A and B are shown apart, each in its own frame.
Chain A
């Protein structure tokens, strides 16, 4: 079930607002498509990211997918657990599998992201 408390990008990232921090990760659809995730190249803490621009890589045995930032801002924190246990993205993509947090994010960019229902519809058309 796609969590209703967050927004979604066309490149299968989710973003959840917690006060003035935006938490991001990838969706269940994305982790399933990748297969067993073996490595995450995380963006650097403190670096600037832009909406829809690549900021990292997620690798599985058979694939490598660019990680895009759903909104612009500064990286305030990265999930360091992913360095030793990247598979948590597979088992819990929406909670423990969060990837990075953004501060000073561009609030207006949230409007162009999809809500849960729109994202589910988007997945149907993709298939």
Chain B
């Protein structure tokens, strides 16, 4: 089944118009020596066979585990209306809205999404999306380097280690200096960070809540940065933004983050949603597409892609970024989600996450020989020190039907006994209780 409509008759007619006898003649420019050496793929299958094949594959994944895994990517409730609306094919089978007159739907939706991001972060300008939170953070580094002319980036140890690895990869060929500063008692180590701030520093990268789930107020760090001409960048968790001090309230210059928690499924790693917001001074350096409001010749409000002169199709090697395709459909889902939960609903979701996480802390605290790290306040994720190897513990918990958390030793050498546990609004009191009981049983094994 290849979705080709034309019949033999129609083919013949079209070949005649092209002035050739066979389709092969249209490929005459390919030298015979370059015909494929091999092109052996299995024969095509019917839709029915495909359906069974993939249902079987899907069944081979353990999606039924009770999920306490976080690490920057969370199992949140997605209201049914999100799928229903985002799966309208006028949205998902459309291309980038370069022809605004017939793309007002997507353009307006993205303008509204940009508005959501501005209101969540408190900053004035948002773009239409980037690939994910990690590439968004790297784009922020690029902006800071271009804006200040400096080439050193200071990275707080609480920033997602996956993002730190990505930034290391991207900067390997670029003569950019990276300095990482471990956290102190879970929060940013102000004194140590200050030691690294100098006239060569372009930006400091922070995260709130950080990878350990710890919350912070980075206003003092932002202030120190500004006194030295350094930009303050903060990667944030959008659900937490309903309750936590916004980046703007902390004096942050560039806010980035991962929007997966807003109406997008975990989907084994992607597609996700990078967002970015900045103040007026940085807007012309912003990567990615941006939608602006304007009017037509009859004074009607309409939306267009704007400030395109920054982008690759115009600036080419001097573009602010190489990004072309972004995560538009994921941004649409995020905006639909935020429209459904609304101002109050997002606060409700955040409160449920916080309360349930703290209940989990209380239950786990009661397990002998297990220590809940409490030197700093947390949002919906927290660290627990076990008397056994956390990886081993996780393996046993899986057998009991739990994805109990993430073993920190995977990315933090020396923390092999530490487990990162995330709790969202989807976890019930019963599930949390069972988690604690099972943990206790498994540790004593």
Residues of A within 8 A of B (CB): 38-39, 41, 59-64, 66
B residues within 8 Å of A by Cβ? 284, 308-310, 314-315, 318
- The residue among B308, B309, B310, B314 with the most chain A CB atoms within 10 A of its own CB is B309
Return 19 A-B CB contacts under 8 Å, by A number. Answer: A38-B309, A39-B284, A39-B309, A41-B284, A59-B309, A60-B309, A61-B308, A61-B309, A62-B308, A62-B309, A62-B314, A63-B309, A63-B314, A64-B309, A64-B310, A64-B314, A64-B315, A64-B318, A66-B318
Cα distance A59–B314 in the bound complex, in angstroms: 10
Contacts of A62 in B (CB 8 A): 308-309, 314
The 7 closest A-B pairs by CB, nearest first: A64-B309, A59-B309, A64-B315, A64-B314, A63-B314, A63-B309, A60-B309
Residues in A whose Cβ lies below 8 Å from that of B315: 64
Shortest CB-to-CB span from A54 to chain B, Å, is 9
Collect the chain A residues with CB atoms within 8 Å of residue B309's CB: 38-39, 59-64
Q: A38: which B residues are within 8 A, CB to CB?
A: 309
Q: Which residues of A contact B310 (CB under 8 A)?
A: 64
Assembly CA distance A115 to B212 (angstroms): 67
Q: How far is the CA of A60 from the CA of B306 in the complex (A)?
A: 11
Q: Find chain B residues with CB under 8 A from A64 CB.
A: 309-310, 314-315, 318
Query: Per DSSP, are chain A's interface residues mostly helix, strand or loop, or mixed?
Result: strand
Residues of B within 8 A of A39 (CB): 284, 309
| Cα distance A41–B284 in the bound complex, in angstroms | 10
Apart from A59-B309, A61-B308, A64-B309, what are 6 other A-B pairs with CB-CB below 8 Å? A38-B309, A39-B284, A62-B308, A64-B314, A64-B315, A64-B318
In the complex, which residues of chain B have a beta carbon less than 8 angstroms from the beta carbon of A59?
Answer: 309
Closest Cβ of chain B: how far from A100's Cβ, in Å?
A: 19
Alpha-carbon distance between A64 and B309 when the two chains are bound, in angstroms: 5
Minimum CB–CB distance from B296 to chain A (whole Å) comes to: 15
| Nearest B residue to A39, CB-CB | B284
Nearest-CB residue, chain A, relative to B306: A61
A61 to B100, CA, bound (A): 14
A60 / chain B contacts, CB cutoff of 8 Å: 309
> Once bound together, how far apart are the Cα atoms of A66 and B315, in whole Å?
10
Residues of A within 8 A of B284 (CB): 39, 41
Closest A residue by C-beta to B284 = A39
> What CA separation (Å) do A63 and B319 show in the bound complex?
12
CB distance from A39 to the nearest CB of B (A): 7
Closest approach, in angstroms, between the C-beta of B97 and any C-beta of chain A?
16
Q: Which residue of B lies closest to A54 (CB)?
A: B318
- A38 and B284 alpha carbons, distance in the complex (Å): 12
A38→B314 CA distance, assembly (Å):
15
Q: What's the Cα separation between A59 and B315 when bound, in Å?
A: 10
Min distance, Cβ B146 to any Cβ of chain A, angstroms = 12
CA–CA, A63 to B318, complex, Å?
Answer: 12
Complex CA distance for A63 and B309, rounded to whole angstroms: 6
Q: Cα distance A41–B310 when bound, in Å?
A: 12
Which residues of chain B are within 8 angstroms of A63 by Cβ–Cβ distance?
A: 309, 314
- Quick one: closest A residue to B310, CB to CB? A64
A63–B314 alpha-carbon span in the complex (Å): 6
Bound Cα distance A66, B309 (Å): 11
| Chain B residue at minimal CB-CB distance from A60 | B309
Q: Which residues of B contact A41 (CB under 8 A)?
A: 284
Distance in angstroms between the alpha carbons of A11 and B315 in the assembled complex: 17
Distance (whole angstroms) from the CB of A83 to the closest CB of chain B: 12
CA distance A54 to B310 in the complex (A): 16
User: Which residues of chain A come closer than 8 Å to B318, judged between CB atoms?
Assistant: 64, 66
B313's nearest neighbour on chain A, judged by CB, is A62
**Distance in angstroms between the alpha carbons of A2 and B280 in the assembled complex:** 38
Q: Which residue of B lies closest to A64 (CB)?
A: B309
* Chain A residues, CB < 8 A from B314: 62-64
- Complex alpha-carbon distance, A39 and B285, angstroms: 13
Residue of B nearest to A59 (CB): B309
- Chain B residues with CB under 8 Å of A61's CB are 308-309
- Report the minimal beta-carbon distance from B322 to chain A, rounded to whole angstroms: 15
Counting chain B CB atoms within 10 Å of each CB, the highest count among A39, A61, A66 belongs to A61
A34 closest partner in B (C-beta): B309
